[in-house]
A and B are shown apart, each in its own frame.
Chain A
Amino acid sequence: MNESEVKKLWQETNDKLDKTLAIHQLNTKELFQLKSFHFISSMKPIKFFVLFTGFLWVGLGVFILGNMFIYTLPETNKFFLFSASIQVVLTAIALIIYLYQLITIYQVDISDPILKTQKRIASLKTSTLWVTRILFLQLPVLTTFWWNYKMFQEWNAFQWVITGSITFAFTILAVWLFINIKIENKDKKWFKLIFTGKEWTPLMKAMELLNQIEAYHDEGKENFNQSHQ
């Protein structure tokens, strides 16, 4: 089958399009009143909830910890204070990235060329990986916030080995995840294990799309190089 036959076939398929699609009946006046469910990333209530609770948590944290720093610093358990502060700071950074990502996605110009627009959307979506990386950095402080000065005076070696090992393991794990959670590792088993589930599907698909876009750009570069050799 040659090129013109295939194109003719395509035209025939188009002719068979169902002309009675209900959308034809859609009154354009109604259309102007319709709200887009947004093709890129719908602001589902769950996202508002995440942002709301996130900022509430950070706000509360800043208020309580700020008061401790200002008014009760000498008598406050420093392990708790610094662990909690690190946790709140990391959560705040993750939230800011998440919010920035949501706002920027809404500003994408849909009438730009396909590869430019899709790359921008996919890149923004994959920036969710940064949120995850930063949140994993909290792991070590979750094991230290309850430490206190009594431990140093009363604990035996065995207790310290157990506690120290847990904190050390969490620190290694957090740093390792922070370094290794990146697009290049998306096909690794451990990566798929972390990012399994429906909520991660858009992220995985965005990474797949970025690969497709890169393939197009790489071919373009190859062509350019070949033509200039």
Chain B
Amino acid sequence: MTQKEQRQHFQNIMEQHMGILHKVARSYCSNEEDRQDLIQEMMIQVWQSLHRYNPQYKISTWLYRICLNVAISLYRKNTTRENKYTRITEQTTQIPMEEKTSNEMQIILLEQFISELKEIDKAFMILYLEDKSHAEISEILGISISNVGTKIGRLKDKLKTQFSQFNK
């Protein structure tokens, strides 16, 4: 593949799958500036890894691997990152509850839940919410399919607890 073809290939991938980069960045980065840096870094890594792409995997699997690996590594490296999602306590929910719809509050709650997860769990959660099959999650994370099933069960329980606490 010539460099021109490679560039075109890269641009096609980005156009079709930019959403993956945004979703991952959004889950790992609290502020927009960090998010932009992260997306840029993901794009650079995708470009630099393009020649290593193995067609035996779906392009989305390959992209998730790169994006999540970059996000986890940068997340760990960046120590000054602030957390946008303030903990929803009784105090903070009382006022917005009157102004925000239940749906908006649930979105905030979901975002908060994701932001509080550890790095690897966060990756797992994104893939679960994206409705990826157990087999694909297993390929992206590098764990067994049965382990994926167990982890999903645990995450569902955690989510249920989180939302039931809020509903109370």
Interface of B is mostly: helix
Q: How far is the CA of A152 from the CA of B145 in the complex (A)?
A: 70
Mark out the residues of chain B between 102 and 118 whose CB falls within 8 Å of any chain A CB in the assembled complex. Answer: 103, 106-107, 110-111, 118
Q: With contacts defined as CB atoms under 8 Å apart, how many contacts are there between chain A and chain B in the complex?
A: 157
B2 smallest CB distance to A (angstroms): 14
**Beyond A28-B11, A39-B70, is A3–B156 a contact (Cβ under 8 Å)?**
yes
Residue in A closest to B160 when the chains form the complex, CB atoms: A1
User: Is the CB of B55 closer than 8 A to any CB of chain A?
Assistant: no
Instruction: Evaluate contact between A206 and B44: CB separation under 8 angstroms.
Output: no
Instruction: Evaluate contact between B150 and A110: CB separation under 8 angstroms.
Output: no
User: Is the CB of A112 closer than 8 A to any CB of chain B?
Assistant: yes
Residue in A closest to B109 when the chains form the complex, CB atoms: A9
User: Is the CB of A62 closer than 8 A to any CB of chain B?
Assistant: no
B5 smallest CB distance to A (angstroms): 14
Q: Chain B residues near A7: list those with CB within 8 A.
A: 129, 131
User: Is the CB of A71 closer than 8 A to any CB of chain B?
Assistant: no
**What are the interface flags for A8-29 relative to B under an 8 Å C-beta threshold, 1 for contact and 0 otherwise?**
0110111011100111101010
Q: Chain B residues near A75: list those with CB within 8 A.
A: none
**What are the interface flags for B118-137 relative to A under an 8 Å C-beta threshold, 1 for contact and 0 otherwise?**
11110100000111000000
Instruction: Evaluate contact between B123 and A12: CB separation under 8 angstroms.
Output: no
Please tell me which one of the listed residues A1, A36, A224 contacts residue B44 in the complex, with CB atoms under 8 A apart: A36
A18 smallest CB distance to B (angstroms): 7
Instruction: Evaluate contact between A34 and B44: CB separation under 8 angstroms.
Output: yes
**What are the interface flags for A215-229 relative to B under an 8 Å C-beta threshold, 1 for contact and 0 otherwise?**
011011001100100
Instruction: Evaluate contact between A111 and B53: CB separation under 8 angstroms.
Output: yes
Instruction: Evaluate contact between A9 and B107: CB separation under 8 angstroms.
Output: yes
User: Is the CB of B93 closer than 8 A to any CB of chain A?
Assistant: no
User: Is the CB of A89 closer than 8 A to any CB of chain B?
Assistant: no
Please tell me which one of the listed residues A17, A37, A198, A227 contacts residue B41 in the complex, with CB atoms under 8 A apart: A37
B109 smallest CB distance to A (angstroms): 9
**What are the interface flags for A44-79 relative to B under an 8 Å C-beta threshold, 1 for contact and 0 otherwise?**
000000000000000000000000000000000000
A124 smallest CB distance to B (angstroms): 12
User: Is the CB of B85 closer than 8 A to any CB of chain A?
Assistant: no
**Beyond A10-B110, A202-B76, is A110–B120 a contact (Cβ under 8 Å)?**
no
Most A Cβ at <10 Å: residue of B18, B147, B160: B147
Mark out the residues of chain B between 52 and 80 whose CB falls within 8 Å of any chain A CB in the assembled complex. Answer: 52-54, 62, 65-66, 68-70, 72-74, 76-77, 79
User: Is the CB of A172 closer than 8 A to any CB of chain B?
Assistant: no
User: Is the CB of A180 closer than 8 A to any CB of chain B?
Assistant: no
A206 smallest CB distance to B (angstroms): 7
Q: How far is the CA of A166 from the CA of B59 in the complex (A)?
A: 63
Instruction: Evaluate contact between B65 and A223: CB separation under 8 angstroms.
Output: no
Please tell me which one of the listed residues A31, A32, A209, A219 contacts residue B150 in the complex, with CB atoms under 8 A apart: A219
Instruction: Evaluate contact between B72 and A114: CB separation under 8 angstroms.
Output: yes
Q: How far is the CA of A99 from the CA of B140 in the complex (A)?
A: 30
Residue in B closest to A1 when the chains form the complex, CB atoms: B163
Instruction: Evaluate contact between A111 and B52: CB separation under 8 angstroms.
Output: yes
User: Is the CB of A6 closer than 8 A to any CB of chain B?
Assistant: yes
Please tell me which one of the listed residues A12, A31, A110, A116 contacts residue B66 in the complex, with CB atoms under 8 A apart: A110
Closest 10 CB pairs of A and B: A113-B142, A220-B147, A10-B129, A115-B142, A205-B76, A36-B44, A1-B163, A223-B146, A23-B39, A39-B73
* 25 residue pairs bridging A and B, Cβ less than 8 Å apart: A3-B156, A7-B129, A9-B106, A9-B107, A10-B110, A12-B103, A14-B22, A32-B7, A36-B48, A39-B45, A39-B69, A39-B73, A39-B77, A109-B52, A110-B49, A110-B69, A111-B53, A114-B120, A115-B143, A116-B142, A117-B65, A202-B77, A205-B77, A216-B120, A220-B147
